[in-house]
Amino acid sequence: MIEIKNLNKVYENGYEALKSINLDIEDGALVTLLGPSGCGKSTILNIIAGILDPTKGDILFDGQSIIGKHPKDRDIGMVFQNYALYPHMTVLENIIFPLTVGDKKIKRDKAKKEAEKYIDLTYIGDIRDKKPNQISGGQQQRVAIARALIQNPKTLLLDEPLSNLDARLRLSIREEIRNIVKEVGVTTVFVTHDQEEALSISDYIAIMDEGVIQQYDKPQNLYLEPANLFVAKFIGSPIINIYDVENDGDVLRAPDFIINKSDLVASRIKKDISEARYSLGIRPEQFNLNENGDISVNIDSIEMIGRYMILHFELNNLPSRMVVDSKLPIKPGDTIRISIDYDSIYLFDQEGKRAY
């Protein structure tokens, strides 16, 4: 198990990249650090790897601090965005390289035998004698993973490993990565800024902004129960609709509709709705087509996705989105009536915390 305790990092120029990070990662879990560029993901990964020292705080592996330990004594495998394969070596030589150097080095024949397991696991048998410049990006990524795993690390660190691959390949390799690390059982910390990628492969996600963890949760909870406005806006595609509403007696008032507080589900109210204004969050699937709906909108444009399509319209003077079945005969220029699914909308207070 990995325990990150009050981790803080101030770079030499005085920039505080990590505020006070606390994170427990269970043995064998696949945990993703997710957040916009610059939020501190790589800083955490590099401190775990021993490439960087923290300013304050501690990291424990199975109860033992690893701070101050040499990177090679931390039992870590690391895969970077640019793969960092040795260009003059074949795939097989790249994979066995870690076993042929250092104190734990073993005979080449034995190393080659060991490599077979990981070559099978990553489906690269037919390219074992090729050089990195003769294989595709996806194959290079598999080689990098095989090379990290052959050292039998307790922890695997993956820093944006898919960002150099095209969209379709990213989809299949992310599934493969999950299968591989689960098969091996290695505890994995994965870094990405891509929320869909994080949702699809992780057991748990730590979503970060400006050096602070905003929520650490299962993918499903991050989507359905975002802790704050930042998480609600970061997770979900198409992006959630956010409207400013005024708290006015028994109702919440937006320019184009009102919400009766009595329609809110009591069990979902997290704190008194007593502030003057709230941010109302409505996911694109929380608008329903409804002939008797109170809200009428004009469709500006339609984005066809496949199983569903995204309707774009203006509501409360803001560009808004909803998703509907792509079979529906709706066209740009149509006026439709919609209603809101009250039991799954969100309210955020002025600090961005969930109120409903």
Q: Which residues bind ligand ADP (CB under 6 A)?
A: 11, 13, 15, 17, 35, 37-43
Q: Are 163 and 37 in contact (CB under 8 A)?
A: no
Please, what's the b/e burial string for 282-310 (b: 16 or more CB within 10 A of its CB; e: otherwise)?
A: bbbebbeeeeebebebebeebeeeeebbb
In the complex with ligand ADP, which residue's Cβ is closer, 55 or 221?
55
Query: Smaller CB distance to ligand ADP: residue 16 or 203?
Result: 16
Report the nearest approach of ligand ADP to the CB of residue 208 (Å).
7
CB 142, min distance to ligand ADP, A = 23
CB of 331 vs ligand ADP, minimal distance in Å: 42
Q: To the nearest whole angstrom, how small is the minimum distance from the Cβ of residue 88 to ligand ADP?
A: 30
Nearer to ligand ADP by Cβ, of 40 and 77: the residue is 40
Cβ nearer to ligand ADP, comparing 37 with 220? 37
Which is nearer to ligand ADP, 37 or 292 (by Cβ)?
37
Question: Which of 142, 160, 159 lies closest to 150, judged by CA?
Answer: 142
DSSP-based three-state secondary structure for 11: coil
**Comparison of 13 and 335: residue with beta carbon closer to ligand ADP:** 13
Write out the E strands in 114-203: 155-159, 187-192
Encoded tokens for 66? 């690893």
Whether residue 25 contacts residue 189, with contact meaning beta carbons closer than 8 Å, is answered with yes
CB of 240 to ligand ADP, least distance (A): 22
In the bound complex, what is the minimum distance in angstroms from residue 250's beta carbon to ligand ADP?
A: 44
What does the DSSP assignment read for 285-353?
TSEEE-TT-SEEEEEEEEEE-SSEEEEEEEETTEEEEEEEETTS---TT-EEEEEE-GGG-EEE-TTSB
Q: Alpha carbon 57 to chain centroid distance?
A: 24
